[in-house]
Amino acid sequence: MTFSSVVFLFIFLPVTFLLYTVLKNHTARNVLLAAASLIFYAFGEPIAVFIMIGSIILNYIFGLAVSKEKHAKLMVVLAVVLNIGMLFAFKYTGFFMQTLKDISGADLPVPSIRLPIGISFFTFQGLSYVIDVYRDKRLVQKSLFSVLLYISFFPQLIAGPIVRYEDIAAQIRDREFSSERVSRGIRRFIFGLGKKVLIANQMGIIADTVFSYAPSDVGFFPSWVGAVCYTLQIFFDFSGYSDMAIGLGCMFGFDFKENFNYPFISGSIQEFWRRWHISLSTWFKEYVYIPLGGNRKGKARTTLNKLCVFFLTGLWHGANFTFIVWGMLHGMCQLFETYQIIPTKKKWFRPFGHIYTMLVVILAFVLFRADTLTQGFGIIGNMFTGNMGSDAVNSEINSMLSTMFVVALCFAVLLSTPVFRVIGEKISDKKGAVAAEYVSYAGSLLIFMLCILSLISSKYNPFIYFRF
């Protein structure tokens, strides 16, 4: 079940919200949300839901164990080993066996294990709970239902944002439920739905077409079109999902932190990662980079720590060398900026900073999207060598650049910048605020209607981050 499915929009969400409104007891509301979250996950993963429940119970027990002084350090290490071990077993066993087979030439069996949706997210949240309790034993949760709700809460269960337990513990115990929050949450949800359905899906159709062909068949211009479309697709797909998750959380009284902050206006890769997938960056910083020593143990150690973090960031996204190279490319650029090999802090470079950043981001996303490194570098080669490709393939891709696509592209460019936020701030006086509120309601209704029409008329509706 996805947020942009008819089942979710017209059955699951209305029923869950109605029951939540009827119930007045806080504990009963928590139990309802936990039960609804399990149903939400089981709808698409009827077997894997037991894996998630097992993970939750395991981390609940570890939380109780690390809250005690005796053997707390041993327990947190064991929790890390078992959580990462489970993630490795499901997500990376086949990849590493295939790699070992290719390197050694041995006839090794390569298992095909179905990846439970969202395992990367709920595993990291489980670890966050145990580690946060280890750091502050007052955060320990005696109620299994509360831990279940934290890890499985359906708005952020299968594609984030990754919510740290420390940030949400108080809200599980007590939170505000009001008409103002519901209204704000609905509008944020619809805004995210529009980004996903009206922009990301339009970009995705073309990106998928470009990457479905061998690089030698795709010409110079279609290669650039595919690269730019995928960059916009993954941003609006994932940021749209995050907006929907934040909106849903707000409707039920939860405040999730922002996950994106206009990353495409960045003037460096370092700035890009302060604005892109903020919850993942924060998680790796708090639970990997700082425990490894951060920047406190000299330049060599800092360099190693940063490369380790970006290697793991790439590997977290998937069991493929394309993701690892994507992560390492970003890591190397960050190091070059840190040591000013790429002079992002020089005044003369600043006008070129945005161009450099977007070029790195787009090229890296080509590798991220490609099925193999060969395909990825082939597309990148087309972008800079003027490959002619196949006339038939180029014509097919060019024919897809319809008026609807151009409109979606224009909105994508506008929404990649804070232009509408700036306008909102400029009309923040009393009269302007009231007018903006009415425009916001009308705009939300229009976006929702267009989304429904699009969902009814098209079967193309994937969520990119479900695969991670």
Q: CA-CA distance, 429 to 438, in Å (whole number)?
A: 14
Angle at 67 between CA 61 and CA 69, to 5 degrees: 125
Closest by CA position to 255, among listed 195, 171, 150, 375: 171
Closest by CA position to 159, among listed 246, 285, 287, 286: 246
- Within 8 A by CB and 6+ apart from 101, the residues are 107, 108, 110
Question: What is the distance in angstroms between the CA of the first residue and the CA of the last residue of the chain?
Answer: 16
Peptide bond into 161 cis (omega under 30): yes
Angle at 314 between CA 41 and CA 152, to 5 degrees: 20
Phi-psi region of 105 (alpha: psi -120 to 50; beta: other; left: phi over 0): left
Residue type, 260: F
Looking up tokens 């944002």, which residue turns up?
161
Angle at 83 between CA 68 and CA 169, to 5 degrees: 55
Residue 71 bears catalytic tag: no
Q: CA-CA distance, 104 to 30, in Å (whole number)?
A: 52
Looking up tokens 């008409």, which residue turns up?
179
- Within 8 A by CB and 6+ apart from 309, the residues are 284, 285, 288, 289, 292, 331
CA atoms within 13 A on the CB side of 361: 26
Residue type, 389: G
Q: Catalytic one among 26, 71, 277, 317?
A: 317
Question: How many C-beta atoms surround the C-beta of residue 126 within 10 A?
Answer: 27
Assigned token pair, 332: 């190397």
Assigned token pair, 296: 């406190």
Residues labelled catalytic? 317
